[in-house]
Structure 1
Amino acid sequence: MYLFSLQHQFIIDSVNRDIVHHMDVYECEPETTIFDDTSLPAGECDQMMELAKICTSNIVAVWSVGADDISEYVPVAGYPVGGDFPIKYYLLQIHYDNPRLLSGRRDNSGIKFYVDRKLRQYDIGYLSFGTLSNAYALAIPPRVDHFMVDSYCPANFSKDFPKSGITVISAIPHTHLQGRSVWTKLIRNGRAVQYLFNGESFNFNYQFENRLAKPIELYPGGERTKDEMCMHTFMYYPRINNLFLCRTENDLSSWRNFLNNSSEIDDLLKFKYLLTNIKWTPDLAKQWQQFYNNASRRLTLGGGKMFEQRSMGIMPSYEDLATEHCRRI
């Protein structure tokens, strides 16, 4: 028996509205948590990340700049809290954007959950698609007008979906300053059949949770995500344990072949240094896009105690959705 959260509210310190960029709340999976009430992680972020990073896969709630502070769940579903629910510890991660290098700020931002003893039919869950947030996945040339980053999620990702399917109720696209569009498409039998969500005009300063006008049912089978830069998270029900993300990066073998370099590719810090010293030209930027279009991918999927990583081939081709043109009324 446990309580249900009916909604959550992010509390943004009014003094720091100008520097709090986004906030994430994560579950700490009991099987992988290596601390308890007597030895909780403490200290500066860099000092405690080895302990805390095991709690950064299973999303509970997210907020980004421009979003509403309050998110109310649908009447048939809620987030379980306490009691028999196995999650005891949570991680609140706050990202700051301080380009003016302001000093002397103290922040008291946080989150509040509104709970009820009345049970709801389903538990809320989150699925996160897109790319991993590292240089292997997101190495975008400077001074280009357009650059496409694709991510692919294979058919067996949804093998643990219930036969009755899951219901997607909202979409939360997230990128940083270079993101202009974020979209996710469903692919069946080599053909795009619909958007899960199409954020064609993405604005860094207005990163809303987009409640779908009509919930979308997904069933065991296959889907593909096509996200331009970074991440696309969806709220759904019923929750599936140990299934929280399906994200990709370019495989290291593809990077080695493209850059004709092996000694600096496998070390991420050396790879970043290599990227910062490239002499960019328009022709190289075009070659870079071709590389992204044809590179093999490495997949990370799962969540909690059940993560899986494996190499994939290039993304399969498919028949795209027809372009919808604006019409003057």
Structure 2
Amino acid sequence: MFLRIHIISVSFFIGYVLSEDILLPSFIMDTQPLSAQSSFYLCHLHQLKNSNDLFLQGYNIINGAHTGHVHHLLLYECSIKDNLIYSGLCGIYNARLMPSSVYRYCQTRIIIAWARGGQLNYDYPIKTGLKMISSTQLLLEVHFEPSIPHNHSIGIQLRFYPLNEKPQYEVGVLTLGTLANSPLFLPPSLNTISFPTYCFNDCLKGFLKNNLVINMFSILVHAHQRATRIILEKNNNFDRLIDQNPFKFHQQEMIYFHKPYPQINSTNELSLICYYSTQNDHLKGIYGGYDSNNEMCQAFIYYYPKVESFPLCLSLPVYKNKHLMNNKRNWTNKLSLFIKDELESNINHLSLCGDNIYFNQSNKTMLQTKLYQRSMKNFKQYSYVYLRFSSIFYTTITSILLISIIYCYLIINKCLHSFSNGGTL
């Protein structure tokens, strides 16, 4: 009996030493209006108490049973070692309320992403871990829906390897898609509209040097209520990595890959395509943005080995006729279809890849930008070919059926003729 108690106490001690909780402080919840008309973001800076480098083995969502009012939860790694202090409203809409250093240096590298309906416990693959350097500062960001309970509490429990254990591979997280406030626009009353984004080959070629190959072991795709399907492809549709169909806003679970894990190298290019339906929206189009009533298109790839200074590989559409993207008009189905074609036939994209870290105190960042023009050949596989394929498909099927009917008629007629002349069936 004494031995059993001793073992329990030791395991409790080890568990306590090897984990750390990050919770939103209750006082910032108390300052928010309970009848908020729109969703809002709350952030809290947390200073890890590690004097040595640590490796994250996995994490748990704290109070995960009460996530019904939580849209998403993100954990960022700050890019400077200054001891920053902040708890309160955050997000791009509240940038003026945040200390500039927090906004500039602590909303760059996403290392943990969770969305509504996702798993509450997560473990990295064996022999892998996410590195936390000594005295790391982390920013917990929680996106709440309107009218949250007054006593709501949520956070993350980080679980570390023992200090004397170092995993073989360091985990990295790569964000794909587009910016949350990108010029995404969805005309109303449409059954489907596609929105392609890219991680261009130039970005992968620049960061995956010396024949470096990274292994994808899981991915979280993220969009809002009008998203119906999300596809991730490698090398222009030759290799489909995931097809989340249907995409469910209230069930955004992490997708796990099986060994051998899909690999990405410097010869590849990635395409993340989000599909939406606005058939229940009749009075206005939908903009890209942070609220659940806006839309997004993002994915978070968990991989190893980690590539330094490469947390982002995004693209933004650059529309030739940007004036079309507004709600100052009387919408008709014909107008929606016209603007859909204008948006989907766009071939201009601005590439954003690298690390959004500012140089010293300047306004220059390490983020690489370049304007690309997609060829219509690459574009058609996401829209026009799909539509034409439908008509060709039905025409082909109709022709085959018609030929089959004529052929059967001729065979039967020949048999009947033979039988009438004394033959057998």
Instruction: Tell me the equivalent position of 2:120.
Output: 69
Q: Distance in 1 between matches of 2:316 and 2:114?
A: 24
Q: Distance in 2 between matches of 1:212 and 1:22?
A: 22
Shift of 1:276: 3.1
Aligned amino acid, residue 255 of structure 1: N
Q: Are 2:292 and 1:240 equivalent residues in the alignment?
A: no
Instruction: Tell me the equivalent position of 1:175.
Output: 223
Q: Distance in 2 between matches of 1:313 and 1:181?
A: 25
Q: Find the residue that maps to 2:193 and give its secondary structure.
A: coil
Return the index of the structure with the highest Cα Rg: 2
8 Å contact from structure 1 (residues 294, 315) kept in 2: no
Q: Find the residue that maps to 1:167 and give its secondary structure.
A: strand
Which residue, out of 137, 144, 149, partners 2:190? Answer: 144
Greater displacement, 166-175 / 284-293 = 284-293
Which residue, out of 165, 178, 197, partners 1:131? Answer: 178
Shift of 1:49: 6.4
8 Å contact from structure 2 (residues 129, 171) kept in 1: yes
Which residue, out of 300, 310, 327, partners 2:370? Answer: 310
Shift of 1:82: 3.5
Which residue, out of 298, 310, 324, partners 2:350? Answer: 298
Instruction: Tell me the equivalent position of 1:200.
Output: 245
Q: Find the residue that maps to 1:180 and give its secondary structure.
A: strand
Q: Distance in 1 between matches of 2:369 and 2:330?
A: 33
8 Å contact from structure 2 (residues 200, 351) kept in 1: no
1:281-328 deviation digits (Å, cap 9, x = unpaired): 2122112222222221122211242212232213563496999xxxxx
Q: Find the residue that maps to 1:203 and give its secondary structure.
A: coil
Q: Distance in 2 between matches of 1:151 and 1:176?
A: 16
1:138-159 deviation digits (Å, cap 9, x = unpaired): 1111221111111122211112
Q: Find the residue that maps to 2:60 and give its secondary structure.
A: strand
1:27-80 deviation digits (Å, cap 9, x = unpaired): 1112xx7xx32x523444331164433222311111111111111000121011
Q: Distance in 2 between matches of 1:184 and 1:237?
A: 18
Shift of 1:26: 0.8
Q: Find the residue that maps to 1:62 and give its secondary structure.
A: strand
Which residue, out of 321, 326, 345, partners 1:275? Answer: 326
8 Å contact from structure 2 (residues 312, 353) kept in 1: yes
8 Å contact from structure 1 (residues 27, 90) kept in 2: yes
Q: Distance in 1 between matches of 2:182 and 2:128?
A: 37
Which residue, out of 104, 111, 117, partners 2:156? Answer: 111
Instruction: Tell me the equivalent position of 2:62.
Output: 11
Q: Distance in 1 between matches of 2:128 and 2:191?
A: 42
Shift of 1:135: 4.9
In the superposition, relative to structure 1, how do residues 205 and 317 fare at CA in structure 2: closer, same or farther (>3 Å)?
same
1:160-195 deviation digits (Å, cap 9, x = unpaired): 2151400011111110101111111011xxx52211
Greater displacement, 18-27 / 224-233 = 224-233
Q: Distance in 1 between matches of 2:174 and 2:375?
A: 20
Instruction: Tell me the equivalent position of 2:204.
Output: 158
Q: Sequence identity, in percent? A: 21
Instruction: Tell me the equivalent position of 2:398.
Output: none
Instruction: Tell me the equivalent position of 1:267.
Output: none
Q: Distance in 2 between matches of 1:184 and 1:250?
A: 17
Structure 1 consecutive aligned stretches of length 4 or more whose deviation exceeds 6 Å: none
Q: Distance in 2 between matches of 1:208 and 1:92?
A: 20
In angstroms, what is the RMSD of aligned CA positions?
Answer: 2.5
In the superposition, relative to structure 1, how do residues 145 and 304 fare at CA in structure 2: closer, same or farther (>3 Å)?
same
Which residue, out of 152, 164, 167, partners 1:120? Answer: 167
Q: Find the residue that maps to 1:290 and give its secondary structure.
A: helix
Q: Are 2:268 and 1:222 equivalent residues in the alignment?
A: yes
8 Å contact from structure 2 (residues 76, 110) kept in 1: yes
More helix by share: 2
Instruction: Tell me the equivalent position of 1:94.
Output: 142
8 Å contact from structure 2 (residues 72, 116) kept in 1: yes
In the superposition, relative to structure 1, how do residues 13 and 167 fare at CA in structure 2: closer, same or farther (>3 Å)?
closer
Q: Distance in 1 between matches of 2:130 and 2:113?
A: 13
Q: Find the residue that maps to 1:283 and give its secondary structure.
A: helix
Q: Give the structure-2-normalised TM-score.
A: 0.63
Q: Distance in 2 between matches of 1:28 and 1:255?
A: 38
Q: Find the residue that maps to 1:284 and give its secondary structure.
A: helix
Which residue, out of 300, 315, 321, partners 1:255? Answer: 321
Which residue, out of 165, 185, 192, partners 2:233? Answer: 185
Greater displacement, 152-161 / 18-27 = 152-161
Aligned amino acid, residue 124 of structure 1: V
In the superposition, relative to structure 1, how do residues 317 and 126 fare at CA in structure 2: closer, same or farther (>3 Å)?
farther
1:194-228 deviation digits (Å, cap 9, x = unpaired): 11221121100110111112311111123131321
Q: Find the residue that maps to 1:317 and give its secondary structure.
A: helix
Q: Find the residue that maps to 1:157 and give its secondary structure.
A: helix
Segments of structure 1 that go 5 or more residues without pairing to the other structure are: 260-273, 324-329
Shift of 1:255: 3.4
